[in-house]
Amino acid sequence: MDDQKKIESIYVEAGQSMLANLPLSMVLTDPNRPDNPIIYVNRAFEQLTGYAASAAVGQNCRFLQGDARDQPQVEVLRRAIEARESVTVTLDNRRLDGSSFRNRLIIAPAFDDDGSIYAFIGIQSAVEDVAEDAHPDDADIASFDDRLREMQHRVKNHLQMVASMIRMQSKEADPRAAFPILARRVDALAALYDEFHIPPRSGEARYDVVSAGGYVSRVVSIVGALDGRRNVRVTVDTDPVYMRTERAAQLGLLTSELLSNALNHAFDGRSEGVVSVQMKELGGDRLRLTVSDDGTGMGGSNWPEQGNLGARIVRGLAGDLGAEMTVTSTGSGTIVTVQLDNPIDTSLEADGRRILSDAEGQRTGKVERLNG
């Protein structure tokens, strides 16, 4: 398999890893291939339509329309795809068993860093009693669409993060040798989607806030399994912290890079050791992530100011988070400390209440109950 084919497969694997268990039906299509075929569907798609992934992949999404090809919204969808724009439509679709359903569909293009489109992301859900010409400002429809767009926005951003990492990887001297490392990074992002199955507010599915404590713990387990050494123990201790999804994704990737670096380099010439990961609230909307080991130290290294792709990713993620990072290394081990602002009040009251901030990270003062 040549490098280009390998890169294409990574996109699909990213979709499989990140999207498989989402509760919303999702489709990835490739507009760079003839007729923009489906390249991935998740399990929710199979459940919604009755079609197995093997029957859907390779077809254009219009196969779900059956004989109903003259719907006005089909033309709206076609024009948006041709212009490579986002669009929301409601279509009359058919399941495998022949039954019909109203399909509320939102699609959006996903672009590489250089502006090249590599996929369309579609999120869909069956809706009842929605007229084909329903106005998007109707309260129920607007709320429903907001939920779909919110998830789509997260997925698109995370796939673009994968695309960016692939592009960085391709510049390495031997990019093929590092594809397993890239797969680990994709797995770290995929773990974030597991937290979407644990709604942060009781009775309301939300995708803009996740349990960062739970997510970081998942990342530690993944990296420990992939990069771990037989006699090196990995411990994790996190506070019940909630974060905005995008910052949580960046923090999870940063944790993955720091832990992987420790496991792969801290114990040269040593048969055993301990790596500890902690994430603690400091008060005043401040968090501290600490990754420490009792290894042999970094010697005279100036990591991550100098180093390989992993070091560059660490610097980039820390910069994106606006974090302060310090590295202290001696002959008895290394401590990496990352401090950052978390503009959402994560203090858990005795009765289970938390004070949430709004979408821009400003305090609202509104008290809401969260699970966790």
Pairwise pLDDT comparison (109 vs 350), residue with the higher score: 109
Q: What is the pLDDT of residues 257-290, one digit of tens each?
A: 999 889 988 998 888 999 999 999 998 789 999 9
3-state secondary structure of 345: coil
Give me the residue label for tokens 């289970």: 352
Q: Whole-angstrom Cα distance, residue 183 to residue 173?
A: 18
| pLDDT value at residue 131 | 47
Q: Which of 29-33, 190-194, 322-326 has the lowest mean pLDDT?
A: 190-194
Torsion of CA 59, 60, 65, 67, to 10 degrees: -80
Q: What percent of the chain has pLDDT over 90?
A: 27
Task: Determine the pLDDT at residue 275.
Answer: 96
- pTM of the prediction? 0.63
**Confidence tier at 40 by pLDDT (50, 70, 90):** confident
Per-residue pLDDT, 9: 60
Q: What is the pLDDT confidence band of residue 115, given thresholds at 50, 70 and 90?
A: confident
pLDDT, mean of residues 240-268: 88
Neighbours of 106 (CB within 10 A): 22
Per-residue pLDDT at 174: 57
Is 116 buried (19+), middle (13-18) or exposed (0-12) by CB count in 10 A? exposed
- Greater confidence (363 vs 107) lies with 107
More confident residue, 152 or 112: 112
Q: Is the pLDDT of residue 342 over 80?
A: yes
Contact indicator for 36, 60 with CB cutoff of 8 Å: yes
Residue 332 has pLDDT above 80, yes or no: yes
pLDDT at 78 over 70: yes
Q: Is the pLDDT of residue 119 over 50?
A: yes
Does 173 or 240 have the greater pLDDT score? 240
CA pair distance 70, 75, nearest whole angstrom: 8
CB count in 10 Å sphere of residue 54: 9
| Between 145 and 190, the higher pLDDT residue | 190
Average pLDDT, the chain: 76
Count CB atoms within 10 A of the CB of residue 49.
24
What structural domains and CATH numbers belong to the chain?
Answer: 3-159 (3.30.450.20), 176-369 (3.30.565.10)
Instruction: Give the C-alpha distances (Å, rounded to integers) separating 254 from 55, 304, 337.
Output: 38, 12, 11
